[in-house]
Amino acid sequence: MDILARIEDYAKTQGDKVAFSSRDGEITYLELWEKSARMAETIECRMQDNREPVVVYGHKDPMMIVCFLACVRSGRAYCPVDVSVPNERVEQIVGTIGDPLVLIATERCSLDANLCEQMLSYEELKEITSSARECSVSSDAGKVELGKCTGEDVHYIIFTSGTTGRPKGVQITTENLNNYLEWAVTLDGGIEEGANFLNQAPYSFDLSVMDLYLSLATGGRVVAADKELQQNNSKLLEYTSGQRINYWVSTPSFADLCLADANFNGEKLAELKAWLFCGEVLTNQTAQELLERFPKANLINTYGPTESTVCVTEVRISKSMAESGSPLPVGKVKPGSSVALDPDTSEIIIIGDTVSPGYYKLPEQTAKAFYQREGIRAYRTGDKGHFDENGLLYCDGRIDNQIKLHGYRIELEDIEANLMKIDGVQRAAVVPRFKDGKAESLTAFVIRDRELISDDYEGRKCIRLALRTSMPSYMVPKRIVMVEELPMTNNGKLDRKRLKEMA
């Protein structure tokens, strides 16, 4: 599949159809195509030899999508950063890239105007994309020539939690994305054309790639639910029901939140065809509840890491599977990919055409996790797994300290590194608390310098405040416990098992 060609085709044949809508506005396929062309031209003229990825900062404004397409149409990767990412972390991302152009695709921007040399404000983006402006892209000689992203060009970079305390950027090529989409349009027995997709995940998470591109690839409409809406169950239900959602794309944790509302059922979402889940364990309990309340909607579990473009497996969860009491499978591997299990650790290794070329400017971390297997890219996921007799893959937890908390991917060492940067914190360890096989909250154990942190209560408050400036709020531990020492194993390593019992 050539996703850009698909979008262009919809722009030409069904231009009036809405491609994206949110409470911030909506945009048709034709507008999306024309506005992204105008902006691509501006990016090209402005950046010229600077081919660095472009940072797109925002939330659920249609301008986000215009910016994404504009970047790749100008031959540059985009790096989506959600407004919920604290400024310090945005600075780290910008610093890692070097000298990027930053596009502010939101009216509500709290970033420092001096963050980087090249920044275009929301008002400027509006001006640039305005229909009153002439666009010379794809016109005759003498005009701006754009070389869009193709093949092995990096299409987007998604920054995710890194063990060093700095986020690491996963690079996904245009070919990776196209290969993923070629298969993803067959999910749930074939995605229907012109459907409405719920977008829940912020664009800085790769789950959002599923709804955005699956929708654009099938002439659908993305219905993006903003943060505020997501925090109000009844408003969200009214909104999603009014928008006639057909495919619900979210983490299972988000569906759990919605299930707390007794009105969240098949009558309210009468046109729902399927749940498309990815990103974390789908529990039997959630599956049963959804199948009961939404008897007409299929329940699809998919699995995969950002490093292999959203997901690589699929299974439809039946009522009997959900009621079986044994953990649910993540499914069969897509064509073009295969999964091997490490003979010693049972680690899931993904091999195939959606595996990323590696982390942005991190050759050592790339070499640790990625390798070539018979000439094909392979990625060590860190997940343990097994296959059943029907060839269905199961995830059996992690071999490292990465966790999923309410659908968010977190390296515990990331939080620990940020804790250790705080004055008065001598040592720190973070462990999750589990409930029904899912991490429910985080506890941080801290050894403090008594001269700098004399009072436990005040100390906890300061630590929490400091963490909030350096990491997203979902990474800030719910409990902070001051301790005199941390438990160690016989060979001198931090005893995380003991800590989990203490959490």
Binding site for ligand AMP (CB under 6 A): 160, 206, 278-282, 301, 303, 305-306, 330, 381, 383, 395, 404, 409
Give the DSSP letter string of 238-264: HHHHHTT-SEEEE-HHHHHHHHTSTT-
Query: Exposed, middle or buried, 12 (CB in 10 Å: 0-12/13-18/19+)?
Result: exposed
Q: How many residues does this entry show for the chain?
A: 503
User: 303 or 445, CB closer to ligand AMP?
Assistant: 303
CB of 184 to ligand AMP, least distance (A): 14
Angle of helix 62-73 versus helix 122-129 axis, rounded to 10: 70
CB of 166 to ligand AMP, least distance (A): 17
User: 157 or 281, CB closer to ligand AMP?
Assistant: 281
CB of 282 to ligand AMP, least distance (A): 6
Long-range CB pairs of 310-317 (<8 Å, 24+ gap) are: 310/180, 310/184, 310/206, 310/207, 310/209, 310/210, 310/278, 310/354, 311/184, 311/210, 311/278, 312/337, 312/339, 312/350, 312/352, 312/354, 313/339, 313/393, 314/187, 315/392, 316/188, 317/282, 317/287, 317/291
d(C-alpha 389, C-alpha 325), whole Å = 18
CB of 346 to ligand AMP, least distance (A): 13
CA angle 284, 395, 407 (to 5 degrees): 70
CB of 15 to ligand AMP, least distance (A): 33
Three-state secondary-structure class, residue 345: coil
User: 181 or 282, CB closer to ligand AMP?
Assistant: 282
CB of 115 to ligand AMP, least distance (A): 26
d(C-alpha 14, C-alpha 48), whole Å = 33
CA-based radius of gyration for the chain = 23
User: 97 or 210, CB closer to ligand AMP?
Assistant: 210
CB of 213 to ligand AMP, least distance (A): 15
Contacts of 95 (CB under 8 A, 6+ apart): none
User: 406 or 409, CB closer to ligand AMP?
Assistant: 409
Tokens standing for 351? 């091999």
CB of 301 to ligand AMP, least distance (A): 5
Amino acid in the structure at residue 214: L
Q: List beta partners, residue 168.
A: 160
Q: What are phi and psi of 398, to 5 degrees?
A: -110, 155
User: 183 or 303, CB closer to ligand AMP?
Assistant: 303
Burial 257-284 (b: 16+ CB within 10 A, else e): bbbeeeebbeebbeebbbbbbbbbbbbb
User: 36 or 356, CB closer to ligand AMP?
Assistant: 356
CB of 196 to ligand AMP, least distance (A): 23
Contacts of 45 (CB under 8 A, 6+ apart): 144
CB of 268 to ligand AMP, least distance (A): 25
| DSSP assigned state of 99 | S
User: 218 or 402, CB closer to ligand AMP?
Assistant: 402
| DSSP assigned state of 173 | E
C-beta separation of 359 from 170 below 8 A: yes
User: 61 or 411, CB closer to ligand AMP?
Assistant: 411
C-beta separation of 306 from 210 below 8 A: no
CB of 438 to ligand AMP, least distance (A): 10
CB of 410 to ligand AMP, least distance (A): 9
User: 174 or 401, CB closer to ligand AMP?
Assistant: 401
Number of C-beta neighbours around residue 298 at 10 A: 18
Tokens standing for 179? 């290969």
Three-state secondary-structure class, residue 25: strand
d(C-alpha 393, C-alpha 346), whole Å = 12
User: 21 or 199, CB closer to ligand AMP?
Assistant: 199
CB of 318 to ligand AMP, least distance (A): 16
User: 330 or 369, CB closer to ligand AMP?
Assistant: 330
User: 37 or 177, CB closer to ligand AMP?
Assistant: 177
Amino acid in the structure at residue 127: E
Three-state secondary-structure class, residue 315: strand
